[in-house]
Amino acid sequence: MTENRIPDAIAAIRQRGYVVWAGDAPSAALAAHFDEGPIKVGGIRHVRVWGLQVDDERELPGHERTSIPDEELWQVELVAADGSKYEVNATMVRPAP
């Protein structure tokens, strides 16, 4: 993502302020921190994971230039039943109905 435009799905989460789990339920250990029903959103964060470029054939024979591209992630901070906060990848949740 070259521009800092918030994706529509993330904007919907921000606007609603509550999420539900998307797809399969999270691990039992994580889910145990939250009440049933919508989960309050404490914040949203944009994260860029920098890629890697290797230019040394001695390290990777036959691959004079190997690149791993940058990755753009969105994290959603969830507020647990006891008030503690947990960050999850935005793909794990969707806006509450």
Domain that holds residue 50: 8-95
CA distance 24 to 68: 29
Q: Six-digit token pair at 2?
A: 């070259």
Global confidence as pTM: 0.74
In a domain, residue 3? The reply is no
DSSP string of 32-67? TTS-SS-EEEEEEEEEEE--EEE--TTTSTT-SSEE
Name residue 37's amino acid: G
- Residues near 61 by beta carbon (within 8 Å), at least 6 away in sequence: none
Is residue 3 very low, low, confident or very high in pLDDT (cuts 50, 70, 90)? low
Number of domains comprising the chain: 1
Q: Is residue 65 in some structural domain?
A: yes
d(CA 73, CA 46): 6
Examine residue 2 and state whether it is found in any structural domain, yes or no.
no
> pLDDT tens across 75-90, in order?
999 999 999 999 999 9
Cα-based angle 11, 87, 14 (whole degrees, multiple of 5): 15
| Residue 14 located in a structural domain | yes
- Reading the block at residue 89, the tokens are 């990848």
**Structural domain includes residue 1:** no
Answer yes or no: is pLDDT of 60 > 70: no
pLDDT digits (tens, 9 = 90+) for 29-54: 999 999 888 999 999 999 888 887 66
